[in-house]
Amino acid sequence: MQNIVSFVEVENYISRVYAGKRCAVKPFYIPFDFGDFAAAASSVTVQQRIPSNADFILMRMSFSRQIEDPLNLTTIQFIDGGTNEQFFPSPVIAELVCDTLTFGMRDQSVFRRLAGSSVISGTLTSTGVSAFNNAIITMAGVLVYVYSGQ
* 42 domain-assigned: yes
Question: Which CATH number is 37's domain given?
Answer: 2.60.120
Per-residue pLDDT for 145 more than 90? Answer: yes
* 3 domain-assigned: no
Q: Contact, 16 vs 57, CB < 8 A?
A: no
* 117 domain-assigned: yes
Q: Which domain holds residue 113?
A: 28-141
Instruction: Read off the pTM.
Output: 0.84
Please state the domain count of the chain.
1
CB atoms within 10 A of CB 56: 23
Tell me the per-residue pLDDT of 84-93, one tens digit each, with 9 for 90 and over: 999 999 999 8
* 150 domain-assigned: no
Mean pLDDT for 86-114 is 77
Tell me the per-residue pLDDT of 28-80, one tens digit each, with 9 for 90 and over: 999 999 887 766 567 889 999 999 999 999 988 888 876 655 556 788 999 99
CA distance 112 to 143: 12
* 104 domain-assigned: yes
Tell me the per-residue pLDDT of 116-136, one tens digit each, with 9 for 90 and over: 999 999 998 887 666 667 888
* 62 domain-assigned: yes
